[in-house]
Amino acid sequence: MIEIQHVSKRYGSSARKAVADLSFTVRPGEICGFLGHNGAGKTTTIKMIVGLLKPDEGTVKVAGHDVQREPLLAKQSLAFVPDTPEIYPQLTGLEYLNFIGDIYGVPAAQRQARISRFAEEFELTGALTDRINAYSHGMQQKIVLMGALLHNPPVWVLDEPMVGLDPRSAHILKELMAEHTKAGNTVLFSTHVLEVAEKLCDRVAIMKEGQIVAQGAVADLRAERGGESLESIFLGMTAR
Amino acid sequence: MRQLLALLRIYRTNGWRSFLSSMGTKRQALAIVMVVLIAMGMAPMLGTLGMTYLAVYQVGAGYGQGELVLVTAFLAGVAAMLFLGLFQLISAFYYSKDSSLLVPMPIPARTILLAKFIGVMALEYLTLAVLVGPALVIYGTLAGPGLLYWPTAVIIFLLLPVLPLVVASLLAFVLMRVTNLRRSRDLLRLIGGGIGLFLAISISRLMNSGIKNPEALVKAFASKGGLIETIGGRVPPVIWATKALGVGFTAGTQALHFLLFVLAVGVGFAVLAWAGELLFWGGLIGSGDGKRRETKAGQAALQKSAGIERSALRALVGREAKLLLRTPVFVLNSVIPLAVLPFALAPAIGQIRSALGQFDLARNPGLVAAAAIAFLCFLNAAGNIAATAVSREGPYIWISQTSPVPPRTHALAKLLFANLFAFLPMALIVGVGAYSGLLRGSAVIGFVVVGALATGALNAGGLTIDLIRPLLKWEDPQRAIKQNLNGLFGLLIGVVGAVIAGVGGFALNLVSPALVLPILGLLFAGLAAALTTLCLKTADARWGRYSD
């Protein structure tokens, strides 16, 4: 579902590559946790997957579509939640969701059903007609999530999606992710919360200085390193 | 003082880097080249202002009162500082992101306030250089003042913004204390802008009020320094600054008025510090708080609203309209000036008609329409709709970039909205033209058709520039439209369009009045087609690169 082949990215004239010859795949039916310290290259990689950045080298495919050659098909196949929930503050939550529905061509019946369901689950129904600039950080994060999931694409790419969410909403999101992958879809999400990654992910990929230094099922990684916790593995792998 | 200098150093570094980023570069040399290019682009405007000041100087000098040019320029500068300063000060004092960092630090309110005040003042020198600089140079070159003139002029130039900005600061403090608008910063700025505009117009009226009475005017021309007193009498520091520099006054008078001016500035700073200690914290603390308005959507509203499907293009045009009309700072820059236009023009319509009476306009409807198109080009560009369309998306651009909609559809939606918006100034011009009797019958149709083609071309040109170098990194929407060089480039394109329509129309009218509108129409249609193609191609090429 997500295939990254020999991808590199350098910002401007910087000597260091933000992402260096990166290759990995997230398969259908899999939740993949993307781990790494700040500046490791996670967000750069995610931005290349969703088409916000163009790789200097290599290819990125989403649901079989090359992000550079077939950008519209790739974008139609994915949901993206950025690391900061910045959305049009002058629109109401409902106007924003309707706008996203129009842009992604979501049929009215599906739109109504999904907005209604998500709004209820995230306890946002009462605030849907408020302007987004009146929302708290967490509420904005919820609206971004609802917008991203509205067209029910097969691939979800979420950059630190739990930040700002209350425990109940974070729990619901985790359930949605599990439900989505059970149906044969794909979720890639970055996080700094190792406990979440350990419990939720079928596989994790640990990045350091633009490269993946370890990847695999958490159980396999632990077995390879004599039963160490994911935290110990992460700290050992990413030590500077 | 140590803390003040530390804050000023930070503001200088941050301001300079913001400036470089607004230029679309990290290199100082490139930024300087761009500033020079922009200055060259503005040369005609500066030239016109310089010529006006020269004429004012010559009129004054004819009556032994060359200082008239100084008092005029100083008043213009003070009015501009009041109008522009209030916006900037409200933003700097109450809405800058550093407030949450500075408030918990052991820094006195007056220190934070002075640092922010000086930061705003530094920005205003650019405006002041344009408005006052030419007058100081003209007077210094032609009136033959002594060597002391130049250093004194520099000091007065540097201190001139202090008093109007202190007045604007006091207004900002009062607004923040007596109103409950802290959370609605855009509305607050809208009110602030209105007050600033009112003050600026008041100064202009004060200038005019002194010269309404013919007898007083004759007396003013005849008596020494009479014109200065008549025009600037209601704003004493302006009189003091003028007399400190004027060759028509003795060295003692000059020194006395210079001291008075400097003293007034000192008092201004003291008042600012005192009022700041008294009022600033109260307005600032808690400005980030606020409860969300609770309105229940209800399932019915949800079902009704979410049950309507629209095309992506229509959704994008609708979003453009909502974001523009719901962001007061955008409305203030793009809509309000147009709404004010009929009221601004109304008193002058009679004079315009009598001035144009010598021409047989009824026989030259094409020429009238061409002049109206020239005016439309300028108004359309001044609205900054197309030339800031991408920049206005700012930090939210990721939503458009990650959507499965072709870049050219996004560009087309922005262009469509800008062209639809152009019907607003068009309708106003038709209204004013019809009311005054200048624009009638076939001229109206010609104006609308060719005007639509002209604005289509200019909007495509403006949008192309914004697609190439959008200003996307902002936290305050004001930056996207007011502090965006693309708006200036758009204005320059508008001026080119106005020149094509005006000069071209005049030239064609000399050949044959019947040719004016058809030829202009063909010209603008060709330009619109070429620039729209360029715009859409630019969108395809640039859209995916804004995060690089």
Q: CA B399 to CA A10: how far, in whole Å? A: 23
Query: What is the 3-state secondary structure of B47-95?
Result: HHHHHHHHHHHHHHHHCCCCCHHHHHHHHHHHHHHHHHHHHHHHHHHHH
- Which letter, b or e, does each residue of A32-68 get, where b requires 16 or more Cβ atoms within 10 Å of its Cβ? bbbbbbeebbbbbbbbbbbbbbebeebbbbbbebebb
- Separation in Å, CA A43 to CA A171, A190, A219, A230, B120: 23, 8, 25, 21, 36
Residue A161 burial (10 A CB sphere; 0-12, 13-18, 19+) = buried
CA distance B299 to chain A (A): 8
> Which residues in chain A have their CB less than 8 angstroms from residue B310's CB?
102
> Which residues in chain B have their CB less than 8 angstroms from residue A50's CB?
402
> Which residues in chain A have their CB less than 8 angstroms from residue B402's CB?
50-52, 75, 80
What's chain A's average pLDDT?
91
Which among B320, B543, B548, B319 has a CA at the least distance from the CA of A71? B543
* Residue A34 pLDDT exceeds 70: yes
Please name the residue of chain B whose CA is at the shortest distance from the CA of residue A134.
Answer: B292
What tokens does B149 get? 């003139």
* 255-314 in chain B: CB under 8 A from chain A: 292-299, 301-303, 305-312, 314
In this prediction, residue B536 carries a pLDDT of 96
Per-range mean pLDDT, top range of A75-79, A84-88, B328-332: A75-79
CA distance B283 to chain A (A): 20
> Which residues in chain A have their CB less than 8 angstroms from residue B328's CB?
none
Q: Where do we find the tokens 């060719």? A: B450
Helix/strand/coil for A142: helix
* Residue A219 pLDDT exceeds 70: yes
Instruction: Please tell me which of the candidates B303, B395, B403 has its beta carbon nearest to residue A103.
Output: B403
CA distance B255 to chain A (A): 54
Are the beta carbons of A129 and B295 closer than 8 angstroms?
A: yes
> Which residues in chain A have their CB less than 8 angstroms from residue B305's CB?
94-95, 98
Is A86 in contact with B293 (Cβ distance < 8 A)? no
Please name the residue of chain B whose CA is at the shortest distance from the CA of residue A157.
Answer: B402
> Which residues in chain A have their CB less than 8 angstroms from residue B399's CB?
87-88, 100
Is B295 in contact with A47 (Cβ distance < 8 A)? no
Going by their DSSP bridges, the two strands A186-190 and A78-81 should be labelled as: unpaired
Please name the residue of chain A whose CA is at the shortest distance from the CA of residue B324.
Answer: A90
* 390-419 in chain B: CB under 8 A from chain A: 395-396, 398-399, 401-406
Angle at B291 between CA B286 and CA B295, to 5 degrees: 160
In this prediction, residue B481 carries a pLDDT of 84
In this prediction, residue A155 carries a pLDDT of 96
B214 contact A CB<8A: no
Instruction: Please tell me which of the candidates B293, B301, B544 has its beta carbon nearest to residue A54.
Output: B544
Helix/strand/coil for A23: strand
As a whole number, mean pLDDT of residues A155-178 equals 92
Is B307 in contact with A112 (Cβ distance < 8 A)? yes
Please name the residue of chain B whose CA is at the shortest distance from the CA of residue A47.
Answer: B547
Helix/strand/coil for B310: coil
Is A136 in contact with B296 (Cβ distance < 8 A)? no
Q: CA B218 to CA B63: how far, in whole Å? A: 11
Instruction: Please tell me which of the candidates B294, B307, B405 has its beta carbon nearest to residue A126.
Output: B294
In this prediction, residue B59 carries a pLDDT of 81
Please name the residue of chain A whose CA is at the shortest distance from the CA of residue B540.
Answer: A71
DSSP class of residue B296 equals -
- pLDDT averaged per 10 residues in sequence order, chain B, 548 residues: 78 69 63 70 73 84 82 86 78 72 74 86 86 90 85 93 90 71 59 63 57 56 62 76 83 88 93 82 53 53 78 95 85 72 60 61 78 90 91 93 95 96 90 80 89 96 95 85 86 91 90 90 96 96 84
DSSP class of residue B404 equals S
* Residue A108 pLDDT exceeds 60: yes
Instruction: Please tell me which of the candidates A72, A75, A129 has its beta carbon nearest to residue B295.
Output: A129
**Global pTM value:** 0.72
Is A72 in contact with B395 (Cβ distance < 8 A)? no
> Which residues in chain A have their CB less than 8 angstroms from residue B544's CB?
51-52, 54, 71
Greater confidence, B209 or A151? A151
Q: Which of A17, A76, A99 to mutate to test the interface with B (most CBs of B within 10 A)?
A: A99
Please name the residue of chain A whose CA is at the shortest distance from the CA of residue B393.
Answer: A88
| Contacts A–B by Cβ distance under 8 A | 129
Instruction: Please tell me which of the candidates B292, B305, B322 has its beta carbon nearest to residue A94.
Output: B305
The interface predicted TM-score (ipTM) is: 0.88
Rg (CA), chain A: 18
Which among B228, B233, B418 has a CA at the least distance from the CA of B321? B418
Instruction: Please tell me which of the candidates A52, A90, A139 has its beta carbon nearest to residue B322.
Output: A90
Greater confidence, B354 or A78? A78
CA distance B384 to chain A (A): 19
Rg (CA), chain B: 26
Is B292 in contact with A135 (Cβ distance < 8 A)? yes
> Which residues in chain B have their CB less than 8 angstroms from residue A94's CB?
297, 301-302, 305-306
In this prediction, residue B544 carries a pLDDT of 84
Please name the residue of chain B whose CA is at the shortest distance from the CA of residue A49.
Answer: B402
Which among B516, B522, B190 has a CA at the least distance from the CA of B363? B516
- The runs of H, that is alpha helices, within B149-235 are 149-159, 162-178, 185-209, 214-222, 226-232
